[in-house]
Amino acid sequence: MKNVKSLKNSLKFKATPKTGVLTVRVGVKKFVLPVDARMISGDGYLFLSFGSSSEIYEVGPKSLTPLAPEADGAAAAAALTPKSRGRGRAKRSRKSVEMPDNLAKALAQVPAGYKLVPGDGGYRLVRTRVRKK
């Protein structure tokens, strides 16, 4: 069981900060607050975090109701946790490649410090380059 307090701590790092999200209306003028806010919303829940405070709200028909810190947050976690994008293809099992015996014997004959390089009509031995750090 995940409580709301631990859910808030984990969602802080999953939400991306946005500027200009919070606005205040004073008289007839509307001002944008210079605060970086992190916000995630989904399926009847809203996570809002800015500065040193964060809160999870349940979205009602006309109001937002904050969830108690020790309440069960399983439904909110399912709604607010971003889904991880997996890889497009299934994982392939890696099989070890078997080397034929005659190829292994031929490669064992290459002296240390040399390598095989394709050349004109065949392969030739070339001294390997020594790199200095």
98 lies in a domain? no
User: Which pLDDT belongs to residue 95?
Assistant: 73
74 lies in a domain? yes
Does the pLDDT value for residue 34 go beyond 90? no
Q: What is the mean pLDDT of residues 88-102?
A: 74
Q: What is the mean pLDDT of residues 111-131?
A: 87
107 lies in a domain? no
Does the pLDDT value for residue 116 go beyond 90? no
Percent of the chain with pLDDT over 70: 91
Q: What is the mean pLDDT of residues 15-37?
A: 88
Token pair 């991880």 is found at 84
C-alpha Rg value of the chain to the nearest Å: 30
Angle at 100 between CA 127 and CA 126, to 5 degrees: 10
- Domain limits at 34? 4-80
29 lies in a domain? yes
4 within 8 A of 76, measured Cβ to Cβ:
yes
User: Which pLDDT belongs to residue 90?
Assistant: 60
Q: What is the mean pLDDT of residues 117-133?
A: 86
51 lies in a domain? yes
Helical residues (DSSP H) of 16-115, grouped into ranges: 74-80, 101-108
> Which residues does 114 contact at the CB level (< 8 Å), separation at least 6?
125, 126, 127, 128
130 lies in a domain? no
41 lies in a domain? yes
User: Which pLDDT belongs to residue 18?
Assistant: 85
Helical residues (DSSP H) of the chain, grouped into ranges: 4-14, 74-80, 101-108
Domain total in the chain: 1
85 lies in a domain? no
Does the pLDDT value for residue 82 go beyond 80? no
